[in-house]
A and B are shown apart, each in its own frame.
Chain A
Amino acid sequence: MSKSELPKQQAKKCLVCGSYSEEGLLCFKHRTAAKSLTEGYKYWKEAFNISFNEYLKEVRKRSETGTWVKEIIDYVITSNDFNILLETG
């Protein structure tokens, strides 16, 4: 079971940064970033026809990518916890 599959009431801290999380497993910052990240995939898929994993790696490299997005990518890649990206409120 990945951390994001734990019951929500147990988690008061963001899985990415450990900050207080008002609702769910991500704090406001990383919830917003997760939403952008999932929404952005369709443009990269259309452009390069790449997998989601490759997409994460490419986005992580770009200087235009926001800090919170980079932080959540790092978390997803190291923990292999892709479910967390569904935590977008």
Chain B
Amino acid sequence: MLRAGGVAWSAHRLDAAEVAGSNPARPTLIIAEKNDAAKRIAFALDRSYKKLSFDGIPVYTGLWNSIKIYVIPARGHLYTLKTDVGDLSLFPVLDVEWVPVADDKYVTKLLDVIKKFIKEASEIIIACDYDIEGETIGYNIVKYNGGFEKIVKRAKFSTLTVEELKQSFNSLLTREKWLMADAGRTRHYIDFIWGISLSRLLMNEVRQGTGKRLSLSIGRVQGPTLIEIYNRESEINSYVPKPYWKFKAIGELRGQEFELSGPSLKSVDEVERAKKLKGKYGKVVFFDKDIEEIKPPYPFNLSDLQKEAYRLFGIQPWESLSILEKLYLRALISYPRTSSQKLPPTINYRSILSKLGQRYKEAGNVSRPHPVEGPIDDPAHPAIYPTGELQPLTGSEYKLYDLVARRFISSFYRNVRVAKKYMKVKADGFDLEADGAAVIDKGWLEVYPFREIREKSIPDAAVGEEVLIKDVNVELTFTKPPSRYTPSSLLEWMETNEIGTKATRADIIKTLYKRGYIRGNRIEITELGFSVARYFSFSQIITLEMTRKLEKSLENIEFGKTYPGEILNESARFLIEELKNAKYSEEMVELTKKYLAAGTGQSLGKCPVCGKGDLVLHISQAGKRYLKCNVCGASAPLPRKGKLVSAKKSCSYCGWPLIKRGGWVFCPNPNCPSSKLKNA
């Protein structure tokens, strides 16, 4: 028996007592994605809504158009894919099914409550986030609880403001085909069969070669991403710098000194020739000046915003997504998982600008009736914009909100105007150049000051005029290896190469860190990551082209251009074929042995905190080593270098397992009384 607010309750009693008492019609069930969204929907539809609790599950109820409504929040995905093929040596795994998320009592209770409400409802509205994942969440809940025997509608909204929610529920979408759910479910299926099959292939190879069971995994999108990091690592490690000389000169014309840049010099002979220019005259062969108009930056889509947040504040892409979701759930900004760089007039520009004017005086100085927009559109949602609602914010939440608000206002602002000059001078066979820039109108930089325009003064000139070369400066320089990826630039690479989705890319990078394949903010590949990437790069099983092709096919499902069955068959056939061609790689096994020798992943003793788990050696993103219990999560820092092994003894002060590095035995517990004694 479920309980509501401490009162014994059943779905039958709810129907009779609550529904029939106020309205003979059967209620409408609304499924939201998260609790905050459910609350906002209930409030938008009935300001005097009530919160009920059924066995700890919150349900919001009220009246909407004289119909009783119940809004139930899901908690992300309540269903997941599972296989019964438990033998790890068997792959490919193609036999999978959707099941409720296992080992989660809350989900079990929640599904129980949902099932009862679906039974009583005459109509169900899926009000999860309007994208592939949101629709998959809602669709699975309805499908596996008998909901499609009822009328099922879809709510589409991009902000959780009262106004938009009301509008959305007054114009609900009816669906013949659930294409977004089809695309989402197919993506989950393909990712699952590829992930589990490739991971089993990897683990089998390592087990055959090393005799050790190492938990390894790789995914359809993680694979090419890891290979790209591996390629970059290889370029950096095999880099040979090339020497050249930077060539600068100081010119004088019409009484003004200014800087001239020459070509890169490749040899000492050229350097000697360049030095001899000092004191000679060159001739202006070209001069031009113009006013450059710089338009405001495009409204933010998710990846542009993630890149900007990393560039300006060092906020990691997955952190910014999590913060943006919070801001969305508080109705401060629109839905963040969007590719769009466009803002339709239906969002009511004037109203938002007027509300923002309370905090940003610049919102009153805009000069364009419509915003400057970028070329990318997203049929599901507009670009990210502030709703105009204002709440006190601090820290990273404030920084990201401020960025969104300023970017929005700036898109209505006048252009930045820069006076530019360009001069070309010929001197003793060398082509020298000079650029000048001066800002004459700050335009949108007044509200979005996160771009720098370097100002530089050069004189006006006429073709044929003589320029005195007052000084020459040559500097021996060496070319540099390509930069390491950062989480932000890797995200950009994934986007450019069209792998993953706007919603999943940041999490894929995070997973590579979690699995110990990469480390550091300037991303380095670990020995283990190197061996996995090398294996897949060598075997050509997961290529960028294949991943991109599958992404395209998945997109086509969403737009009704192809059917899930077709893609599933094609993908399964391809997987079987690829696995047949997989070659056993001794090199990977050797590298993995090295990795195992370094000790990562090994248990260094039993956890004294919970008494159940093992304290396992991990490497953090920053390359720091630490112990972490695989059951309770208790952790302790470790020395960064040296081989660590268990000393096979426990600390007599605190009971933590002692660790040995060379001849040094120490207790890793940071709170161990023995360390306090030493410090005293």
Q: A: which residues have CB within 8 A of B?
A: 19-22, 27-29, 32-33, 35-37, 39-40, 43-44, 46-49, 59, 62, 64-69
Contact = CB atoms under 8 A, between A and B. Distances in A.
A47 B238 CA distance: 21
A65 B587 contact: no
Contacts of B538: 22
A46 to B, nearest CB: 5
Contact of B587 (A20, A47, A67): A20
B534 A28 contact: yes
Contacts of A59: 240-241
Nearest to A47: B243
15 contacts: A20-B586, A20-B587, A20-B589, A28-B534, A28-B587, A32-B238, A33-B237, A36-B240, A43-B266, A59-B241, A62-B478, A65-B241, A66-B237, A66-B481, A69-B240
A32 B238 CA distance: 6
Contact of B237 (A20, A29, A40): A29
B236 interface: yes
A66 B480 CA distance: 10
A33 B238 contact: yes
Contacts of A44: 242-243
Contacts of B594: 19
B112 interface: no
Interface residues of B, number: 26
B354 interface: no
A33 B244 CA distance: 21
A20 B590 contact: yes
A22 B535 CA distance: 11
B266 A64 contact: no
A66 B266 contact: no
B647 interface: no
Overall SS of chain A's interface: helix
Contact of A36 (B239, B243, B534): B239
B532 to A, nearest CB: 14
Given A20-B590, A47-B267, A40 B244 contact: no
B590 A19 contact: yes
Contacts of A32: 234, 237-238
In the complex, which of the residues A27, A29, A48, A66 has the most CB atoms of chain B within 10 Å of its own CB atom? A66
A71 B50 CA distance: 71
Contacts of B534: 28
A66 B242 contact: no
Nearest to B234: A32
B268 A66 contact: no
Given A32-B238, A64-B478, A64-B480, A43 B243 contact: yes
Given A20-B586, A22-B587, A48 B237 contact: no
Given A19-B587, A68-B237, 9 more contacts: A19-B594, A29-B234, A29-B237, A29-B238, A35-B238, A47-B244, A48-B267, A66-B236, A66-B239
B587 A66 contact: no
B586 to A, nearest CB: 6
Contacts of A46: 266-267
Contacts of B589: 20
A81 B193 CA distance: 49
Given A19-B590, A20-B587, A22-B587, A62 B241 contact: yes
A28 B585 CA distance: 13
Contacts of B267: 46-49
B268 A64 contact: no
Interface string B203-243: 00000000000000000000000000000001011111111
